[in-house]
Amino acid sequence: MTKETDGRVWLITGCSSGFGRHLVLAALDAGDRVMATARRPETLAELEALGQGRVRTAALDVTDPAQIEAAVQATLAEFGRIDVLVNNAGHGSVGAVEELTMAELRSLMDVMFFGAVEVTKAVLPHLRAQESGAIVQMSSMGGQQSPPGFGAYCSAKFALEAMSESLAAEVAPFGVNVLIVEPGAFRTEFGGSRLHRSRVIDAYRESTGEIRDFVEGMDGSQPGDPAKAAAAILKVLDSDDAPLRLALGDDAVDGLRATHEARAAELAAWEELSRSTALWISRASAGSRRRAASARGRTRRPRR
């Protein structure tokens, strides 16, 4: 997808931990250069030291348009170009739809959807001008399925995937590629201190209580290795036939396959009713009507 003789230049959001940090390390191992960003850039000092001149850091709160533009300009000033943008900033959230406040939902969407869109829009003119590059959208298996308790989180990921699917077709003529990454449960801080927890309404304990307990106990026991995930993303970026979507982890592959099969089965089960709503005019019937109308026109007396 992107191959530069002098190494690619990455701009990555949310690098203080998890996938963002491991992507910085993987890019360094590949000989690339990175602008690593986080809301608190002091948390990136270790990465900058490891980079030995190939990592620069910048403050970037993706809900702040001024910081977005400053980070893009800093990357161009330091490295002269941007080859790979990774929208990774975000955090988990758990709570039933009724349990969420609208302020909580808007805050989540601001970071994981609107923030990602705004960073993407800030970088796109530079990718178009150089007629190359890649945009990596860190989604989730929750970008295609939404279990109880994850309505807010998955809404943000669904929205990101919808925007990215359109974006992929829009920027392909410019030589720019889009990759939507859909991890399952990986050994990040998704279920730890960064997890947003809504208030609890007792009536929802039956439908979301088990999910809440699972998320609270998952941190540190997730089966996925984020270092291997980062390596897989780089492998795709080097591929000549990269997919639009990349599922990562056994749970993501199995879960998404089950979701697709269930949707296909549901569509088939209701297909007859779905098709019955059309205003049917068969081709034969339409042709007969056109011929009849033509004949009437030929036999109609001219007006005087």
Nearest partner of 140 among 200, 66, 88, judged by Cα: 88
| Contact (Cβ atoms closer than 8 angstroms) between residue 86 and residue 136 | yes
Question: Rounded to 5 degrees, what are φ and ψ at 109?
Answer: -65, -35
- Please pick, among 132, 140, 153, 155, the residue that the annotation labels catalytic: 153
Cα gap 84→10, rounded to integer Å: 5
First to last CA, the chain: 72
Concatenate the DSSP letters of all residues of 87-122 into one string.
E-----EE--TTTS-HHHHHHHHIIIIIHHHHHHHH
Clarify whether 204 is annotated catalytic.
no
* DSSP label of 3: -
- Please pick, among 157, 164, 198, 204, the residue that the annotation labels catalytic: 157
What does each C-alpha distance from 242 to 220, 228, 235, 236 come to in angstroms? Answer: 31, 18, 9, 6
Residue type, 216: E
Cα gap 27→246, rounded to integer Å: 18
What does each C-alpha distance from 182 to 24, 38, 82, 245 come to in angstroms? Answer: 18, 21, 23, 7
- Please pick, among 139, 140, 155, 198, the residue that the annotation labels catalytic: 139
Clarify whether 153 is annotated catalytic.
yes
Q: Which long-range contacts (CB under 8 A, 24 or more apart) does 75-78 make?
A: 75/9, 75/11, 75/35, 76/126, 78/35
| Contact (Cβ atoms closer than 8 angstroms) between residue 140 and residue 182 | yes
Active site residues: 139, 153, 157
